[in-house]
Amino acid sequence: MSTATVDATGPASDGGTNTGVGARLAALANGLIIPVLALLTALVVGGLVIVFSDPDTLDEWGSFFGDPLGALEASWDIVYDSYRALWNSSLGSSRGLSRTLVEATPLALAGLSVAFAFRAGLFNIGAAGQIVIGATCAGWVGFTFDLPTAVHLPLAVLAGFAGGAAWGGIAGVLKARTGAHEVITTIMLNYISYRLLDYALRSDAFQPAGRDDLISKPVADSARLPEVSFGEITVHAGVFVALVAAVGVWYLLERTTVGFSLRSVGANPNAARYAGMSVAAMYVLAMLLAGGLAGLAGTMNILGRPSFSLTGGYYSFIGFDAIAVALLGRANPGGVLGAAFLFGVLRAGSTGMQAATSTPVDIIVVIQALIILFVAAPALVRSIYRIKAGRGTSQNFTTSWGA
Amino acid sequence: MKVELRGITKRFPGVVACNGVDLSVESGEVHALLGENGAGKSTLMNILFGLYTADEGEVLLDDSPQVCHSPSDAIGAGVGMVHQHFMLVPVFTVAENVMLGIEPTGALGTIDRDEARRRVVELSDRYGLAVDPDATVEDLPVGVQQRVEILKALYRDARCLILDEPTAVLTPPEIDELMEIVRQLADGGRSVIFITHKLREVARIADRITVLRTGEVVGTTTPGESDEQALATMMVGHEVQLLVDKTAPDPGAAVLAVHDLVVDDERGHRVVDRVSLDVRAGEIVAVAGVQGNGQSELVEALCGLRPVQAGSVRLDGADVTGRSPRQMYDAGLAHVPEDRQRDGLIGSFPVASNLVLNQMRSRPFSRRGRIDRRAVRRHAAQLVEDFDVRTPSIDTAASTLSGGNQQKVIIAREFVHAERLLVLSQPTRGLDVGSIQYIHRRIVAKRDEGVAVLLNSSELDEVLALADRIAVVYRGRLVGVVDRADASRELIGLLMAGAVDEAAAVEATGDEEVTVT
* Ordered DSSP codes for A97-118: HHHHHHHHHHHHHHHHHHHHHH
Sign of CA dihedral A140, A144, A146, A147: negative
ipTM of the complex: 0.79
How far is the alpha carbon of B357 from chain A, nearest alpha carbon, in Å? 6
How far is the alpha carbon of B339 from chain A, nearest alpha carbon, in Å? 10
- Which homologous superfamily is B241-332+418-517 in? P-loop containing nucleotide triphosphate hydrolases (3.40.50.300)
Let me know: does A19 contact A3? Beta carbons within 8 Å.
yes
Q: Which amino acid would we find at residue A240?
A: F
CATH number for the domain whose boundaries are B3-236: 3.40.50.300
- Please tell me which of the candidates B343, B347, B395 has its beta carbon nearest to residue A7: B395
Domains B3-236 and B241-332+418-517 share a fold: yes
Could you read off the pLDDT of B230-252 as tens digits, one per residue?
888 888 877 766 677 888 888 88
Number of H helices, E strands in chain A: 17, 2
Mutation site for A-interface testing, chosen from B373, B374, B382 by largest number of A Cβ within 10 Å: B373
Q: What's the pLDDT score for residue A20?
A: 64
Its pTM stands at 0.78
Q: What's the pLDDT score for residue B468?
A: 94
- What value, to the nearest 5°, has the Cα angle with vertex B366 and ends B364 and B370? 155
3-state secondary structure of B511: coil
Distance of CA B260 to the CA centre of its chain: 28
Let me know: does B488 contact B506? Beta carbons within 8 Å.
yes
B301-321: b (≥16 Cβ within 10 Å) or e: bbbbbbebeebebbbbeeebb
With an 8 Å Cβ cutoff, are B360 and A268 in contact? no
Give me the phi and psi of A59, to 5 degrees please.
Answer: -60, -40
pLDDT beneath 50: ranges in chain B: 511-514, 516-517
With an 8 Å Cβ cutoff, are A276 and B360 in contact? no
As a whole number of angstroms, the distance between CA A9 and CA A263 comes to 27
As a whole number of angstroms, the distance between CA B358 and CA A64 comes to 70
By a Cβ cutoff of 8 Å, what residues of chain B touch chain A? 303, 305, 324-326, 328-329, 335, 337, 342-350, 353, 357-358, 360-361, 366, 369-371, 373-374, 377, 381, 392-395
- Asked, as a colleague might, if the bond just before B364 is cis with ω within 30 of 0, I would say yes
Where helices occur in A19-93 by DSSP H, the ranges are: 21-53, 55-62, 68-88
In chain B, what residues touch A257 (CB-CB under 8 Å)? 360-361, 366, 369-371
> What DSSP state is assigned to residue B245?
P
Which residue from A205, A164, A173, A203 is spatially nearest to A315, judged by alpha carbons?
A164
Could you read off the pLDDT of B136-145 as tens digits, one per residue?
988 888 888 8
In chain B, what residues touch A268 (CB-CB under 8 Å)? 342, 345-348
Which residue from A277, A270, A267 is spatially nearest to B329, judged by alpha carbons?
A277
* HSE-CB for B363 with a 13 A CA cutoff: 2
The DSSP string of B104-130 is -B-GGG-B-HHHHHHHHHHHHHHTT--
In chain A, what residues touch B345 (CB-CB under 8 Å)? 268, 271
Q: What's the pLDDT score for residue B508?
A: 59
Mutation site for A-interface testing, chosen from B12, B339, B356, B360 by largest number of A Cβ within 10 Å: B360
Give me the phi and psi of B384, to 5 degrees please.
Answer: -60, -40
Of all residues in chain B, the one with the smallest CA distance to A254 is: B371
In chain A, what residues touch B358 (CB-CB under 8 Å)? 274-276
Give me the phi and psi of B445, to 5 degrees please.
Answer: -60, -40
- Please tell me which of the candidates B343, B357, B370 has its beta carbon nearest to residue A264: B357
Pairing of strands B477-483, B515-516: antiparallel
Could you read off the pLDDT of B340-354 as tens digits, one per residue?
888 999 999 999 999
As a whole number of angstroms, the distance between CA B182 and CA B202 comes to 12
- Please tell me which of the candidates A16, A260, A267 has its beta carbon nearest to residue B360: A260
pLDDT beneath 70: ranges in chain A: 1-20, 313-316, 388-403
For chain B, the domains span 3-236, 241-332+418-517, 346-415
